[in-house]
Amino acid sequence: MTTAPNDPLPELVDSHCHLDFPDFEQELPEVIARARAAGVRRMVTICTRLKNEPRVRAIAEAYDGVFYAAGTHPMSAHEEPLVTVDQLVALSQHPKFVGIGETGLDYHYTADSAEVQKTSLRIHITAAQETGLPLIIHARAADEDMAAILTAGFRAKPYSCVMHCFSSGPALAKAALDLGFYLSMTGIATFPKSQELRDIFAAAPLDRILLETDSPYLAPIPYRGKRNEPAYTAFTAKTGAQLFGLSDVAFAAATTTNFDRLFTRAARRAEAA
């Protein structure tokens, strides 16, 4: 018998959320409490513009089990000062800083800034290589360029990486998995019209799957269209369990193990707690 999505699951992790966004400003303690009640013991809150890093860092410092990452989102790359490797390496010294990004390429809305996005992405790759922390990738409508840049960087010097909110095609999935990277599943996987995406996840190795909400966006069924929050990781986990033919408990355990393997700093801190 599988566990219902509103029952606590052991050691779920929301590997990508945005707790600093205004959507959570008035009730952040309650949002985190609901996540813990749903079995989400750890969360990684993502800074998408470096000028907001102090606020994101403060949230991670204030809550046990909340970690953070920082970078320049590709859709903001043309609006923000170009980040430097030194800046990212300096940020990485914080004990709750666990990843580089999110960074990447987005040609859906911001194709006109493709060149600065590529430059920014390469800087983040270098920072991941220098720090040993995982790269967190946003990819939309840029599969060919994304695969080429990630592969070239890896061949120059290996690094670890997660394809956050993976919703691209099978070719990019294969390229990422061939490099040993991870695919992260969001509420999109629960949508009725997402069968092609579910097929991509189901064909991937179980030990390369992570869970996330990308909250406040992309709430899973049955909350689609409403504000998402980390507690809803449990609903995406239920879909993932069905794809892999596992119990909810077994799938939660597998994805948490995967998170610990990739986000080693968060894993070490959890062991020390």
Q: Which residue has tokens 């069924």?
A: 221
* Alpha-helical segments (H) within 63-167: 85-91, 107-110, 114-131, 143-156
> 187-244 pLDDT, tens per residue?
999 999 999 999 999 999 999 999 999 999 999 999 999 999 999 999 999 999 999 9
Nearest to 235 by CA among 188, 168, 170: 188
> 29-86 pLDDT, tens per residue?
999 999 999 999 999 999 999 999 999 999 999 999 999 999 999 999 999 999 999 9
Separation CA 52–CA 50 (nearest Å): 5
Q: Which distant-in-sequence residues (6+ apart) come within 8 Å of 5 by Cβ?
A: 234, 235, 237, 238, 248
Separation CA 99–CA 112 (nearest Å): 27
> 94-119 pLDDT, tens per residue?
999 999 999 999 999 999 999 999 99
Nearest to 68 by CA among 146, 16, 126: 16
Strands across the sheet containing 209-211: 12-17, 40-47, 66-70, 97-106, 135-140, 161-163, 182-185, 209-211
pLDDT bin (cut points 50, 70, 90) of residue 10 is low
pLDDT bin (cut points 50, 70, 90) of residue 11 is confident
DSSP-derived secondary structure letter, 138: E
Cα–Cα separations (whole angstroms), residue 82 to 53, 92, 136: 15, 17, 17
Q: Which residue has tokens 């006109």?
A: 112
Separation CA 253–CA 248 (nearest Å): 9
Nearest to 205 by CA among 173, 237, 235: 173
Q: Which domains does the chain have, with CATH numbers?
A: 12-272 (3.20.20.140)
Residue 268, pLDDT score:
77
DSSP-derived secondary structure letter, 208: G
DSSP-derived secondary structure letter, 167: -
Is the pLDDT at 9 greater than 80? The verdict is no
**Phi, psi of 99, rounded to the nearest 5 degrees:** -160, 160
